[in-house]
A and B are shown apart, each in its own frame.
Chain A
Amino acid sequence: MKVDTMVDAVESGTAPVAQSKVVEIRNLYKSFGERKVLSDVNLDLFERENLVILGKSGTGKSVLIKCLVGLLKPDSGEIKVLGYHVAGLNSKELNELRLQVGFSFQGSALYDSMTVRENLEFPLKRNLGIFNRTKLNEFVMTALKDVGLESAVNLRPAELSGGMKKRIGIARTLILQPKIMLYDEPTAGLDPETAAEINELILSVREKYHTSSIIITHDISCARQVSDRIVALFDGRNKLEGTFEQLKTGNATELQPFFNY
Chain B
Amino acid sequence: MKFKQFLVRLANIFNFVRSFFKAAFSPPFETKEILRQCFSVGNKSFFLIAFTSFLAGIVFTKQSRPSLASFGAESWLPSLVAQAVVRSLGPLITGLICAGKLGSNIGAELASMKVTEQIDAMEVSGTRPFSYLIVSRVVATTLMLPILVVFSDMMALTGSFVMVYSINRTGFVLFFSEVSAVITYLDIFSSIIKSAFFGLAIGIVGTYAGYHAENGTTGVGKAANTAVVVSMVFIFVVDLMGLQILNLFRR
A residues touching B (Cβ–Cβ < 8 Å)? Answer: 66, 69, 71, 95-96, 98-99, 101, 103, 105-107, 109-112, 122-123, 126-127, 169, 172-173, 176
A122 CB contacts on chain B under 8 angstroms? 122, 125, 127
Shortest Cβ distance from A259 into chain B, in angstroms?
30
* Size of B's binding interface in residues, CB under 8 A: 15
Given contacts A71-B123, A95-B126, A123-B127, 14 further A-B contacts (CB under 8 A): A95-B128, A98-B123, A98-B124, A99-B126, A103-B120, A105-B120, A107-B116, A109-B121, A112-B112, A112-B113, A126-B132, A127-B126, A127-B127, A172-B121
Q: Which of B113, B124, B127 has the most CB of A within 10 A?
A: B124
Asked if A109 and B116 sit within 8 Å, CB to CB, the answer is yes
Chain B residue with minimal CB distance to A101?
B124
Shortest Cβ distance from B119 into chain A, in angstroms?
9
Other-chain contact of B118, A101, A109, A173 (Cβ < 8 Å): A109
Chain B residue with minimal CB distance to A105?
B117
Shortest Cβ distance from B235 into chain A, in angstroms?
28
Asked if B126 and A109 sit within 8 Å, CB to CB, the answer is no
A173 CB contacts on chain B under 8 angstroms? 125
Report B131-143 CB contacts with A as 1/0, cut-off 8 Å: 0100000000000
Shortest Cβ distance from A71 into chain B, in angstroms?
6
Residues 179-218 of B contacting A (Cβ, < 8 Å): none
B residues touching A (Cβ–Cβ < 8 Å)? Answer: 112-113, 116-118, 120-128, 132
Asked if B126 and A123 sit within 8 Å, CB to CB, the answer is yes
CA distance A109 to B122 in the complex (A): 9
CA distance A127 to B132 in the complex (A): 13
For the complex of A and B, the 3 pairs showing the least CB-CB separation, nearest first, are: A109-B121, A109-B117, A95-B126
17 contacts between A and B (CB under 8 A): A66-B120, A69-B124, A71-B124, A98-B124, A99-B125, A99-B126, A103-B120, A103-B121, A109-B118, A109-B121, A110-B118, A111-B113, A111-B118, A122-B122, A122-B127, A169-B121, A176-B125
Q: How many A-B residue pairs have CB under 8 A?
A: 58
CA distance A259 to B113 in the complex (A): 36
CA distance A173 to B125 in the complex (A): 8
Chain A residue with minimal CB distance to B30?
A126
Other-chain contact of B120, A71, A127, A169 (Cβ < 8 Å): A71
Shortest Cβ distance from A179 into chain B, in angstroms?
14
B126 CB contacts on chain A under 8 angstroms? 95-96, 98-99, 123, 126-127
CA distance A169 to B116 in the complex (A): 13
Chain A residue with minimal CB distance to B117?
A109
B124 CB contacts on chain A under 8 angstroms? 69, 71, 98, 101, 103
Shortest Cβ distance from A84 into chain B, in angstroms?
13
Shortest Cβ distance from A4 into chain B, in angstroms?
30
Q: Which of B112, B116, B117, B132 has the most CB of A within 10 A?
A: B117
A103 CB contacts on chain B under 8 angstroms? 120-121, 124-125
A69 CB contacts on chain B under 8 angstroms? 124
Asked if B117 and A107 sit within 8 Å, CB to CB, the answer is yes
CA distance A69 to B124 in the complex (A): 7
B121 CB contacts on chain A under 8 angstroms? 103, 105, 109-111, 169, 172
Shortest Cβ distance from A115 into chain B, in angstroms?
15
Shortest Cβ distance from B115 into chain A, in angstroms?
9
A169 CB contacts on chain B under 8 angstroms? 121
Chain A residue with minimal CB distance to B124?
A103
A98 CB contacts on chain B under 8 angstroms? 123-126
A176 CB contacts on chain B under 8 angstroms? 125
Shortest Cβ distance from B33 into chain A, in angstroms?
10
Shortest Cβ distance from B19 into chain A, in angstroms?
11
Shortest Cβ distance from B96 into chain A, in angstroms?
27
CA distance A122 to B129 in the complex (A): 11
CA distance A107 to B116 in the complex (A): 7
Q: Which of A66, A96, A109, A176 has the most CB of B within 10 A?
A: A109
A95 CB contacts on chain B under 8 angstroms? 126, 128
A172 CB contacts on chain B under 8 angstroms? 121, 125
Shortest Cβ distance from B110 into chain A, in angstroms?
12
